[in-house]
Structure 1
Amino acid sequence: MLKQQLRGISSLLTSITLIGICVGMTSTLLSLRATIEEFGTLVTGVIMSAYFIGFLFGTTRAPKDIRRVGYIRAFGGLAALAAFTILIQAIWVDPIVWFVMRFLTGFAISAIFVIVESWLNTMADNKNRGTLLSVYLVLIYGGLVAGQLVLGVTDPAGFVAFAIVALLINVALIPILISVTVEPTTHDTKSVPIKTLIKLVPLGVANAFIMQACYAMFYGIGPVYAITLGLSVPEISLFMAAFILGGMISQAPIGLLSDRLDRRLMIAICAGSGALMALILSQLSSDQISWIYLFVGLLGAAILPLYSLGMAHTNDYLEKDQMVGATSSIIKIGGVGSIIGAPAVAALMQFGETSYFFYLLTLLTLMVCGYSLYRIGQRKRAEGQTHSAFAMVSPGQTSDELLTTLAEDLGDPDEDTDDQTAMTSGAILKHGDNG
């Protein structure tokens, strides 16, 4: 059954893998090119943050358009928009133009991910949803790694690297445009305002905000840090690839462990390990390149699973019909963290020292570790915690929530809702049912 489903979505998975390669190439490429063009670290950070602003808008606005025109047509149009923005950045090298184009790239890519994940939801059932998503995540991470390696054999100062990205985006259209698949259906779900989520699961909210800020810092400014360290373009590509590869390898084992242990303890262990790796990296120089690759890979292995761990922890304390609404709120919270992350570390590096890059990562991950340990002492472990850290919501629900703008108001939380009420009244789903 699973093999048949994988064959049925092979074209979809092929397309998203190619998109992953493009995403992996683009972030590092623009950071390197901005440094070559002497935009300045702070300006580069602001430009890179535009992607996350666009990503946030894409998950709140673009889905409405997707419902009007259909998934396949929307995928084609969004991919064309993404390819257009990349080529414009190659032709017109200007900070303001790049900021606008980077915004549009984030808008297009986020909506593409909405389409793909909705599609996967319709093809999966409760027995294999976790497995299908793990395949999806591995392909995404694999694409990101491949993107770094492809960039390593190109010249970021030229046109070819940009052309390759645009070409791959257009090639990604072919498999999905010639496939035949049932489009997602819609279902009613319950919204979960951010205020309510903060009261119900404060650790999930804090983790989403801080970790997405960390990811934006690394993807957006990591290449700039590597340049100032004195690494060559191939070495920078391996530096970024090692980080992503570490996360790809550790995602499933950590997710499985979190089903058996207190998920908050796993968050604390991963965050604490990440802080240690970041601190070690802050002390390494370019003549210790092998050690840099090792510890940046361990850093990725420790912190890349943290977002999904936090999402799983959040869903441990929610009712079934709250999970999709909570996912939309977490997307917003994480999006704000992403927007802040890159400019914040860029400003520290420009007006302080290069080593502040990993010092800030150390501080932020230590905050997550400490708060996780604090929450363990404040609240009992969720009863019946059985769902995986990388499982998805049930078919149709992701589609419906994301396709209705993900824009609930910051309403007042229910009165008299406390940690114990959330713990005992929330329905805990089986493996594969959470978002």
Structure 2
Amino acid sequence: MLKQQLRGVSSLLSSITLIGICVGMTSTLLSLRATIENFGTLVTGIIMSAYFIGYLFGTTRAPKDIRRVGYIRSFGGLAALAAFSILVQSIWINPVVWFVMRFLTGFAISGLFLIVESWLNTMADNRSRGTLLSVYLVLIYGALVGGQLVLGIADPTGFTAFAIAALLINFALIPILISVTVEPTTHKPRKVPIKLLLNTVPLGVVNAFIMQACYAMFYGVGPVYASSIGLSVTQVTYFMAAFIFGGMLAQAPIGLLSDRVDRRLMIVICASGGSVLAYVLSQLGATQVHLIYPAVIVLGAFILPLYSLGMAHTNDYLEKDQMVGATGAIIKIGGAGSIIGAPAVAGLMQFGQANHFFYLLMVLTAIVALYAIYRISKRSKAEDQLHTNFAVLAPSQTSDELLTTMAESVPEEEEDEEVVTGNAVLRRK
């Protein structure tokens, strides 16, 4: 049965892998190119934040477009928009133009992930959903690491790297367009107010905001930091790939452990470990690159699972019919953190020192750890923590709402409720 489902979704998995490679390439490529063009660290951070602004708009707007014109047409239009925005940045080297194009890229990529994830979810049943999600995550992680390595052999000062990214997106159209899989149907998801989450699960809200800010910092300004301490272009790509690789190794073990102990304790351990590793990395320079790579791997292993831990913890205290809407609220909270993260650390670096990058990361993760300890002292563990299992979060900017619903299917007979059919979290949940 699973093999048949994998064959049925092979075109979707092929497309998302190609898009993942592009996502892995473009963030690092633009950070490096902006440094080469002397945009300044702060300006670069603002440009990189445009992606997350666009992504946030995309998660709100794209479902409406999908319902209006369908999955395949939406995928084609968004892929064309993403390729266009990337190519324009290679032709017109201007901070304002790059900000606008980066916004369009984020908008388009969020829609592309949303389409593929929703489509995959409708193809899965309750017995195979977890395995199918695991396959999906492995491909996402591999694609993101692969994107860094592809950039290592493409010159960021020229047109070629941008062209490769645009070609990958266009090539991702082919499997979708020739697919014979029937398009899924969608409905409008129910909403859960952010105020309700703040009152019910404040740690989940704080964790989502801070960790998405940290991820935006690393993906958006991490290449600038690595370049500023003297790493070569190839070494910068290894630096970024090591971070993702660490998260890939740790997500499943940490997730399984979090299902057996208090998730808040796992948040404390991971956030504390991330804070310590951030301090260690702040003291390392380019001459100690043999120490930087393993340290970055361990850093990724600690902090990349934190968003997923927070999402699972949030759902531990919610009713099942609240989970889909709650994830939509968490998307907005995390999106706000993403928008702020890159410019904040870029400003510190420009007006201070390069190692302020890791100092800020150290402080933010320490805040999460301390707040988790505080919440443990104020509230007991969820009575039945296993009613919502941990689902791993890939480091790509995909649709949290769709992936969260992949973990908990909405019964089809509840036709009076406006929800996305059978969704759950990749990222993520």
Report the TM-score when normalising by structure 2: 0.92
Equivalents in 1 of 2:154, 2:89: separation in Å? 16
Equivalents in 2 of 1:209, 1:318: separation in Å? 19
Equivalents in 2 of 1:133, 1:72: separation in Å? 21
The answer for the alignment partner of 2:400 in structure 1 is none
- Tell me if the contact between 1:208 and 1:307 (Cα under 8 Å) persists in the aligned partners: yes
Deviations 1:327-376 (A, max 9, x none): 00000000000000000000000011111000000000001111111111
Deviations 1:367-404 (A, max 9, x none): 1111111111111111222233217424579996579x
1:202, distance to aligned residue in structure 2 (A): 0.4
393-402 vs 188-197, which deviates more?
393-402
- Tell me if the contact between 2:279 and 2:362 (Cα under 8 Å) persists in the aligned partners: yes
Deviations 1:5-40 (A, max 9, x none): 112111101110110000000000000000000000
1:181, distance to aligned residue in structure 2 (A): 2.0
- Tell me if the contact between 2:67 and 2:186 (Cα under 8 Å) persists in the aligned partners: no
- Tell me if the contact between 2:239 and 2:296 (Cα under 8 Å) persists in the aligned partners: yes
- Tell me if the contact between 1:278 and 1:299 (Cα under 8 Å) persists in the aligned partners: yes
- Tell me if the contact between 2:186 and 2:420 (Cα under 8 Å) persists in the aligned partners: no
Deviations 1:270-294 (A, max 9, x none): 1111111111000001011011000
Do structure 1's residue 141 and structure 2's residue 141 form an aligned pair? yes
Equivalents in 2 of 1:98, 1:335: separation in Å? 20
The answer for the alignment partner of 2:266 in structure 1 is 266
- CA distance 1:234–1:125, shift in 2 (3 Å): same
Equivalents in 1 of 2:410, 2:66: separation in Å? 14
Do structure 1's residue 388 and structure 2's residue 354 form an aligned pair? no
1:125, distance to aligned residue in structure 2 (A): 2.1
Equivalents in 1 of 2:232, 2:268: separation in Å? 35
Equivalents in 2 of 1:362, 1:16: separation in Å? 33
The answer for the alignment partner of 1:334 in structure 2 is 334
The answer for the alignment partner of 1:348 in structure 2 is 348
Equivalents in 1 of 2:418, 2:299: separation in Å? 35
- Tell me if the contact between 2:53 and 2:106 (Cα under 8 Å) persists in the aligned partners: yes
1:182, distance to aligned residue in structure 2 (A): 2.8
Equivalents in 2 of 1:177, 1:199: separation in Å? 45
Equivalents in 1 of 2:161, 2:189: separation in Å? 43
- Tell me if the contact between 2:41 and 2:350 (Cα under 8 Å) persists in the aligned partners: yes
- Tell me if the contact between 1:118 and 1:395 (Cα under 8 Å) persists in the aligned partners: no
- CA distance 1:402–1:218, shift in 2 (3 Å): farther
> Between the two proteins, what is the percent identity of the paired residues?
73
362-371 vs 1-10, which deviates more?
1-10
122-131 vs 326-335, which deviates more?
122-131
Q: Which runs of 5+ in 1 are unaligned?
A: 404-428
Deviations 1:21-60 (A, max 9, x none): 0000000000000000000000000000000000000001
Equivalents in 1 of 2:188, 2:291: separation in Å? 51
Deviations 1:182-228 (A, max 9, x none): 33334575421001111111000000000000000000000000111
Equivalents in 2 of 1:250, 1:4: separation in Å? 29
Give the counterpart letter for 2:54 in structure 1: G
The answer for the alignment partner of 2:91 in structure 1 is 91
Aligned to 2:259, the other structure's residue is in SS state helix
Do structure 1's residue 278 and structure 2's residue 281 form an aligned pair? no
Give the counterpart letter for 1:302 in structure 2: F
Equivalents in 1 of 2:180, 2:228: separation in Å? 48
Do structure 1's residue 320 and structure 2's residue 307 form an aligned pair? no
- Tell me if the contact between 1:185 and 1:400 (Cα under 8 Å) persists in the aligned partners: no
Paired residues in the alignment total 408
1:94, distance to aligned residue in structure 2 (A): 0.4
1:137, distance to aligned residue in structure 2 (A): 1.6
Give the counterpart letter for 2:42 in structure 1: L
CA RMSD of aligned residues (A): 2.0
The answer for the alignment partner of 2:56 in structure 1 is 56
Q: Which runs of 5+ in 2 are unaligned?
A: 393-403
Aligned to 2:385, the other structure's residue is in SS state coil
Deviations 1:291-337 (A, max 9, x none): 10000011111111111111111111111111000000000000000
Equivalents in 2 of 1:2, 1:272: separation in Å? 39
- CA distance 1:14–1:371, shift in 2 (3 Å): same
Aligned to 2:179, the other structure's residue is in SS state coil
The answer for the alignment partner of 1:374 in structure 2 is 374
The answer for the alignment partner of 1:411 in structure 2 is none
Give the counterpart letter for 1:200 in structure 2: T
- Tell me if the contact between 1:130 and 1:388 (Cα under 8 Å) persists in the aligned partners: no
Q: Where in structure 2 are the equivalents of 1:28-427 lying within 5 Å?
A: 28-186=28-186, 190-386=190-386, 387-390=388-391, 392-393=404-405, 394-395=408-409, 401=419
Deviations 1:46-88 (A, max 9, x none): 0000000000000011210111000011111101110000100
